[in-house]
Chains A and B, each alone.
Chain A
């Protein structure tokens, strides 16, 4: 916390005090936290991090909050798994799966909300808020419960029941907005202007987004402080993608890891792929689109970090690919059936994207590759319901043996 200098506009570079707010007063560009890295360098070490708690607060020196008062539901430090079945299927020798679907509220959003909610309480807010299609809603409601403060969660009125329950159970005030996706956005931006609440991804955004850096740190630490050759990351706003890259560079700058040679690959679902389309047409700006994808958690049509994501791809010699809509469920099944990991649609998008990157020769068999699985399959199980095809039998061993012979072919 003492390591934070100010907020700075990413566009005009003007500096601002550390206060709630996400855009520069002058040019309306996005604000970003600025750290004093020379001060951090004096107090941080691999040993200190390794001796820290088994959650994202082990990286507290690199987060813009006072971790002593953290709103802590134990987000982060999720498993990094060396792939066997999927690696073999794809012909890769060194593939790792960062399984962030096992966070406390079952998505990587716990990382960003842990930081945003801690900062909100530090600032003295008594209400957390967000607009979400599911994952963020769950995480905000859970952190508010832990902090003992109120929460307002805005959702589209036609959101699937499973997701609504996952947020509602923590006791937020749920507001279901009757209208299109754009209507929900518009209403929430107005609510954020009117009420003195901590909207985690609006007026807390500079702090919120820093939480995603820990997905860069953790992978490097879990690889034995090695920087991977490739990272394959799902994107909605593009913030996670940009912050993983930032995290890798911070480790290098602090002498905690070697040169960053990671090629950053961004994946979106075809039905909402404004960043991928910009990459493919070689332009530096993203054309907003209307989301129409089964991967609802990645459905952002006007991504705030689209431009910065394109820069990261360019600087890292990475790329962007989209997953055809009909391959998303397939990707979920492939991961489940080769690795025993049940991910939501966003993970299906990543697996489909990985397959394309390997097929196109962008990822070579010997490369050290990390794929980020950011959400849990139980949140979107209806997408793969067709796997349910049990062999129904009478309650007798004969019926079982007959079924075995005729239906399973054993």
Chain B
């Protein structure tokens, strides 16, 4: 189980990437909060699956151009 935030650039907003994520990998996605605008969109979701499958899935969606962050923003502080 992992909580993540996806940020979609403008050109990917119309792509069904979260659907594809759960099709290509053995993962269950559960969207908790989202805000999608014409220029940018973000989705906060929970992903269920094995650790390896989650890692593969996140690597894949990252390679599609989606930014993957921990929920709650960057952790490293000044």
Binding site for B on A (CB under 8 A): 11, 22-23, 26-30, 107, 109, 130-136, 154, 156, 181, 184-186, 188-189, 192-193, 199, 201-202, 205, 236-237, 283, 285, 287-288, 296-306, 346, 375
Contacts and interface: CB of A to CB of B under 8 A. Distances in A.
Nearest to B9: A287
Nearest to B58: A186
Interface of A is mostly: mixed
Given A185-B69, A205-B72, A303-B73, A133 B37 contact: no
Interface of B is mostly: strand
Given A287-B7, A288-B69, A300 B33 contact: no
Interface of B: 2-3, 5, 7, 32-33, 35, 37, 39-40, 42, 44, 46, 67, 69-78
A183 B74 CA distance: 11
A135 B32 CA distance: 33
A302 B73 contact: yes
Contacts of B44: 27-28
B78 A346 contact: yes
Contact of B76 (A27, A131, A283): A131
Q: Which 10 A-B pairs have the closest CB atoms?
A: A297-B78, A304-B73, A189-B70, A131-B76, A136-B77, A300-B74, A302-B74, A28-B32, A188-B75, A28-B44
A184 B76 contact: yes
B69 A28 contact: no
Nearest to A107: B78
A258 B71 CA distance: 37
Contacts of B3: 23, 28
